Amino acid sequence: MAMNSITSGTSEKNAGNENFPVASFLLPKHMRDHVMAFYNFARSADDVADEPNIGSDEKLSILDDMEKTLLGTSVGGDVRFSAAATMRQSLSDSGISAIHCRNLLKAFRQDAVKNRYYSWQELMDYCSLSAAPVGRYLMDISGNSSSDKAPSDALCAALQVLNHLQDMKVDYLELNRVYLPLNWMDEDGASVSDLAAEKMTPQLKRVQDRMIVEIDKLLLEAAPLGKSLGGPLGREASGIRAIAQQLSAKLKHTDPLSNRVELGKIKSLFYFFRGAIMG
């Protein structure tokens, strides 16, 4: 998921510096505790998949052990397994299925062995494991598990691909991982090596623009989510969607190879609150 990297099991990224709010104060306190357990589990597993200093086989072994800890069949000793053990307790306390965590682990295993995506549909299939489980977990923990999943899946996929575009250069240089559809790159005359440049080529810009068109379609599909969920989670979803819309708009006019495209904390909070209120 392009969440970089670990040293001694400690991530450089945390809930405080993500693009989008994690377990914001809009959510009830009891729900925030479970959401943070889910976030820490996902972060720990993601860090394993993105660790550049260990091989694929070792990554797969660690992720397998994390799943065993999650399911209570084995307990490891370091922070990654601690996060899985905490998540297991959270699932037990909340009565939520482990399926969402297990689907995330499938995505991280895929990251450990796969570094190219041929088409947009292949990328969406990946997002169904790497992104959709997040929204579905939030719906379950908030008691909205019977709601339509499609708008939630669309929002989560949009957030995922926005992150891919933000990090396309570092993903390629540090992990040799490319989430841009290769068939579109071929059609537009772009090369994977273009990702190492100081600025985007016109060909690579065309690929990014095609992806942003699809992102905006996903965000449009996600529009009913705030009202359909209602309550704190609906406001949270509307606020996050508002941030995503602004980030998509900024990517249209800013080169992510020259500088990482971000909104900044103040703007993010502004768009989040405006989206939460309007949504």
pLDDT in tens, 109-140: 999 999 999 999 999 999 999 999 999 999 99
- pLDDT at position 232 is 78
pLDDT band of residue 261 (cuts 50, 70, 90) is: confident
- Domain edges within the chain: 27-114, 115-279
pLDDT band of residue 79 (cuts 50, 70, 90) is: low
Give the helix/strand (H/E) hosting 11. Answer: strand 10-11
CB of 69 closer than 8 Å to CB of 85:
yes
Across the strands, what pairs with 11? 6
Return the top range by mean pLDDT from 10-19, 71-80, 146-155, 249-258: 249-258
Nearest-angstrom CA–CA distance, 184 and 64: 34
Q: Which comes out higher in pLDDT, residue 27 or 197?
A: 197
What average pLDDT does the segment 253-269 reach?
Answer: 71
Q: Which comes out higher in pLDDT, residue 60 or 13?
A: 60
Assigned token pair, 40: 């820490």
% of the chain at pLDDT higher than 90: 64
C-alpha distance from residue 129 to each of 6, 100, 247 (Å): 22, 8, 23
pTM above 0.95, yes or no: no
Least confident of 55-59, 229-233, 267-271: 267-271
pLDDT band of residue 279 (cuts 50, 70, 90) is: low
195-234 pLDDT, tens digit each? 999 999 999 999 999 999 999 999 999 999 888 888 878 8
Amino acid identity at 258: S
Q: Are strands 6-7 and 10-11 parallel, antiparallel or unpaired?
A: antiparallel
Give the helix/strand (H/E) hosting 7. Answer: strand 6-7
- Is the model's pLDDT at 33 over the cut of 60? yes
Q: What is the mean pLDDT of the chain?
A: 84
Across the strands, what pairs with 136? none
3-state secondary structure of 10: strand
- Residues whose CB is less than 8 angstroms from the CB of residue 264 and which lie 6 or more positions away in sequence, other chains included: none
- pLDDT at position 78 is 61
- Is the model's pLDDT at 19 over the cut of 70? no
- pLDDT at position 155 is 94
- Is the model's pLDDT at 167 over the cut of 80? yes
Q: Which comes out higher in pLDDT, residue 209 or 15?
A: 209
What average pLDDT does the segment 179-188 reach?
Answer: 98
Its CATH class, for the domain covering 115-279, is mainly alpha
Nearest-angstrom CA–CA distance, 188 and 179: 16
- pLDDT at position 6 is 24
Assigned token pair, 143: 């008691």
- Is the model's pLDDT at 2 over the cut of 70? no
